[in-house]
Each structure stands twice: as structure tokens, then as C-alpha cells.
Chain A
Amino acid sequence: MILEVKNVEYAYKSQKERKVLDNISVRFEEKKLYSIIGASGAGKTTLLSLLAGLDKPTKGTVLYEGEDILAKGLDYHRKNHVSLVFQEYNLIDYLTTEENVKLGGTDRPEELLSKVNIPKEAWKRNVMKLSGGQQQRVAIARALASKAKVLLADEPTGNLDEETAAGIMELLKGTAHELGKCVIVVTHSKSLANEADEIVQIAKGMIADPGHLV
């Protein structure tokens, strides 16, 4: 087990009574692709934010390899334990394709760009000149460049057509099975979620699928 949330609760500071996540406990393992699904406002993205160390839970703990991520600090957790892929790709607009991948922490972006099928002629081009699908592949390559054992993706196919989305999902699957990383994907799409090894369903801030409850 690489990542675990234990009795986690989360509420916004402005609405303390309304719990976005209510006593959630779930574990994630390496070499597996997880999908987190649920209706809008169910708390999927909030759970991903807590796993990513972008925010702190109101109650409960997030553990990485059995240790509370707050122990070494959230910055450390984000830098060393997890890598992130977003729906909006979130690439740095003044860097080239290669340079964006280098930001992930590698000096050899070529291998990763080849792996995610970015044509060579696009490597030195400004990343904003690439198509949406290509930009998301570059974002995945940047996430893969990190030595982190966990890859978290928030609606990575949300802005892509079906065919491209399927390709991205294959890439994430490969990342889990071939590279041995723990890949956790938040998605709306049930068909894409079904590609995962395990599905975590959230409804009204709680785990809806009892099969994954601890």
C-alpha cells in the first residue's frame, strides 16, 4: 500500500457544517490504475486534492507509505511522492514541449516524449502550439518525468474527443502496469472508469462502493 486516506473529513472554511468529505477511508496500491467516480459535487476532486497534498483534511490523515504526509510537509509530498495531471493540461505557456517535460525533473525528455507519441518536430516548439490531445500527453510525460510513485489525474480526458481520450487512458494504464506506478484518475466517464483496475465511487462525500472500504 502506497497511499491511504484514514477517516478523512473535509469542509470549506466558509461552510464548516457542510462536509464535502465525510469520514472517508481508502487505500491505494502500486501497479494499479484506480478511477474515482461520482456525480458533480460528490467530492472527487477534493479527495484528489487531499491525496496530492494541495490542501489539508479538516479531520483524519493522509498517509504515504504509512507516514502522515504532514510530517515532512505538503510541499515535500507534492515534490517527491506524487505527480499531477489536470483537465486543463496546465503547461507553462512560454516553454517548449521539451522544457515543460524537463520541469518534471528529467534531463532526458526525449524518451518520455517518444513514449507518449509526441512527434519529434514538436519537441522544440512552443507547447501551446500543440493540439489538446498532444498537450495532455506532454502533461503526462511531465508527470512521468517525476520520480514520484503516485500519478494523480483530475479529469485528464475531460477536454478530449473519445478516440484521444481512449489513447490517454491506455497511456495511464501502461503507466500503472508497465512502470509500476499507482495511478489514480478522477473521471466522469463510466466507460473510462471501467478501464481501471479498481473503481472508487463517491456519493455525497462518502465512499459508495463498499468493496473498497477498509
Chain B
Amino acid sequence: MNGFGLAWRSVIRKPIKSVLLFVTVFTISLLLLSGMSSGKATIKMQDHTRQAVGAGLLLEENEADRHRRIEELSRQLGHKEGSYGGYHQEKITVNGVENWRTWTDNSFETLLIEDIEAIAATKGIADYNITTVTTAARPVDFIRIEDEDVDQYSDLGGVSLIGNKDMSMDSNFLSGNAFITEGRMIQEGEKDVCVISSELADKNQLEIGSRIRFGKCRDKEGSMTYEAEVVGIYQVKQPIAPYMFGDTYRSENIIFTDLDFPEKVDGKAGDPLYEKAYFKIADVNDYENVKKSVMGADIAWERYDLIDNNGNMNTLSTNFNEMEKYSRALVWVISGAGLIILFLIFQFWMKSRNREIGIMLSMGTLKIRILAQIMTEALMIAAAAVLISFLAAPGVSGLTADYLVEQQIQSAEERDLLDEGKVAFSYEKSGQDVLGVEAEITSGMLMQDAGGIALLITISVCVSGIVILKRNPKDILQNL
């Protein structure tokens, strides 16, 4: 009778030890899968402040990821001056006190053009627009609109430039809030053209065909100026929400330009800062399917928020507070505890099978073959337990992810309450609600789980086996 024959007879005919191992492995496997899937879960959220207009999808930078990237790069640079990945830090001395000045450049902040193009290439996307960040510029040969009652000392004294690849898909025009009263919109591919507000046109007696000049906002003495031709004049129903405080950003001072103009004026030609990308869906009836396809695009999704026309977006657990960290910790704790429990179980196996081991040794069976038989038994039971856990995992991992999200929300609320009025955040927290959690079990997770369980069992069988099998057969038989 070979080792395999003995192994399966032992598994079937010694049910208590088999059931004990089965239940343990099933539990470990289930918790490991839950931890892994929670770490990769997608949290469905709704943002009250952001939503795509019409049958489109909006791509924006994810603030939590941006924050994390800054922390990572800062950690990599350590206490040294330098630049890395668009992040810069330098030591400055203010009033004899040393401080660190840190900042990021456009290459760090921008939506990546290759990612935008990857999404635009998805089937079902009819067209797309890219919008630059609102860029302050110095009016050289025209006057901006100012509130006479406000002290302009702290204001930049400029106007705001918003560049679009296709102006007709700018959110202000798409929503119908802004509309052209004279001239036309800027078309894709045009260079050095702009559309100004009717208030600015009136104040400066500007007409279609007029040319106005801009300079870098903080460079008041600079000689580099850029000219743009006015091709359109717009009006708004409601003032456009200002990007920042001050007259530079007031609705009347917003000037729409071609895509490349703002970076040029800001002295960063070739180094754009794209803030939003809008993707127009060809068939409105196919909206959900296209959204799913877009989400399947091979880009670094943790960097972005993809927002639909209801403000719904999927946030990866990496970007949801400490969710990924807690999930990873769960996996490590389960692995560690699993290893200890399995080791104890196999210790019990070995001790309760001392006689069998002694008999086999007395018949000349090699120690390695005895260990192999025990390993075979353990793997047979574990395989059954892992397979059953695969079936139960989708339900349980959903519950685990729900629980972790709930805990995260609760602890975030408690933290916010404690920090209220004491801590300034580096970014504005937008109003977001969690609508649900989607924890998917992938084939990769199943492989990792099965591999992890096999590794835990191998380690614990070998360690337990060494304790027993290092003794000589006479000692084992004498103790029977």
C-alpha cells in the first residue's frame, strides 16, 4: 500500500482530525480572501459637488492619491533638498528659523495625456475634451473687472485662463450656463485664440477680431507677452464659481482659450496642467456599458476619479482612508495566526500518531516518506477546504469589505470631530456619500490564497514533523 493510499484512508477514517483541519483551513482561507478582496475593493461613492454633464464621463485627479504620492515622494527624498517625480523640496530660513518649502510642478499634478487617450480609445466614446487648470495671467493691454469696494492688495491682479481642447465640451457651455453671444467657440487645433466675457468686452471695447496680450501673472516686469485673437464673446446665466478667492478668478475675468495657451503664458510651454477630461458617450442608451468598458481601461486608476452624470464614482480602497492598509494588516494577521494554529494542529496530529510513526519506522519506511504522507493528508483536506471557501468567499468578502468601510467612515467621522478647527487639510474635502462596496474575488486572489495556504501547511507540517521525526525509532517505540 503506497503513501497516497494510506493518506486518503487516514483522511476518511479519522474524521475528527480531518474535520478540525478542514474547519481551520476553511476559516483561514475565507479570511485571507476577504482581506485580499477588501484591499482591492471598489467603493461606490456619490459626490454632491462634482458630476459629468449629459451623456458623458468626467475624469479628475483623486485627491487622496495625490496626497499619498506627495507623502511617498517626500519620504523618498528624506531630509534632503531635491526634486523627484515632479515634487520639490528645499530648505529656507525665515527670520533665522530653518523651514522646508515643498511644492509640486505640472508634471506631478496633471492628468496624464496617455491615460486620457487610453480612455478616449474605448469603444462607445464619441469624443473627448481636455480642460486645463484655471491659470492666472496678467492683462497687458486691457483692463480686468474689479470690485471697487475690495482692497486688491493681496490679489494677483490678473485674469483667469481656461484652455480647452474642444470648447463646446467645457462644462460651463455643456451645462448651458455659459453661451456665446457674438462670434464663435474655439475649435480644436486652433492656436492663440480666446473667448472673453461680454463684461470684459464692454469694458475694453473689444470686438471679434481684436487681439489682446497676456503676460505671466507673478512676473509683472517681464517682457514676455503672448497675444490671442478674440473669436467669441460669452455671457453666463449664473456667475461661474471662482477657482479661488479674489477678482483674478471672478466669473467676468474668465477667458476661455485654446488648450496650449495657458501653459505658454505661465512660462511652461510643453508642460501642461490638465485638470479635467470629459468623455462624450456616443449612444446615451448604452451609457452604463460604456462606463464599464471605460473602467476596464488599463491605466493607473488609483490616480483618478471617474465621475458619471449622477456624481457617482468608484473609489479604489487605496484611496479610501486607511482601507487598503487595514485589509493588508488583516491578511498578515490571519497568515500569522493561521501559521500558529496550523502548527498546533499538526503538533496534535504528530503526537496522536506517534504509534503509527513508530510502526512505519520499524518497518523501514523512510522518515521523509512518513512526512510526505502526512503532508499529502493535510493537502487533501486543505484542497477541499480551500475549494469550499472559494464558493463562500464572494458573500463573506462583501460583508468584510462593508464592515471595513463602515469602520473607516466611523473613525474618519470621529477624527474629523476631534480635528475640527485644529487641523488644516492640504486639500478640500468634497461632499461624498458611500453608496456601496464592491469586493471582487479575482482568479489571482484565488491563486494567491491557495498558494498561501499550501505554504502555511508546508511550513507547519515540516516544523511539527521535525520535532517528532528527529527522534530515533527506538525512542518513539519505547514511549508507546
Contacts and interface: CB of A to CB of B under 8 A. Distances in A.
A77 B363 contact: no
Contact-size category for B: 20 to 34
B455 interface: no
Contact of B1 (A49, A78, A103): A103
B10 interface: yes
Contacts, number: 58
A126 B359 CA distance: 17
A11 interface: no
Contact of B359 (A55, A77, A90): A90
Contact of A54 (B14, B362, B365): B362
A104 B364 CA distance: 10
Interface string A79-106: 1100110101011111100010011100
Contact of A55 (B13, B355, B366, B474): B474
Contacts of A83: 363
A80 B480 contact: no
Interface residues of A, number: 26
A95 B364 contact: no
Nearest to B355: A90
B473 A54 contact: yes
Contacts of B10: 94
A41 to B, nearest CB: 13
Contacts of B398: none
Best-surrounded residue of B358, B359, B472 (most CB of chain A within 10 A): B359
Given A49-B474, A55-B472, A76 B13 contact: no
Contacts of A99: 1, 9
B1 A94 contact: no
B362 A52 contact: yes
Given A92-B359, A94-B14, A78 B477 contact: no
A79 B9 contact: no
B179 to A, nearest CB: 85
A76 B473 CA distance: 14
B356 interface: yes
Best-surrounded residue of B1, B14, B480 (most CB of chain A within 10 A): B1
Interface of B: 1, 6, 9-10, 13-14, 355-356, 358-359, 361-366, 472-474, 477, 480
Interface of A: 49, 52, 54-55, 75-80, 83-84, 86, 88, 90-95, 99, 102-104, 126, 146
30 contacts: A52-B362, A54-B361, A54-B362, A54-B473, A54-B474, A55-B472, A55-B473, A75-B364, A76-B364, A78-B362, A78-B363, A78-B364, A79-B363, A79-B364, A79-B365, A83-B363, A84-B363, A86-B362, A88-B480, A90-B477, A90-B480, A91-B359, A92-B356, A93-B355, A93-B356, A94-B14, A99-B1, A103-B363, A104-B363, A146-B363
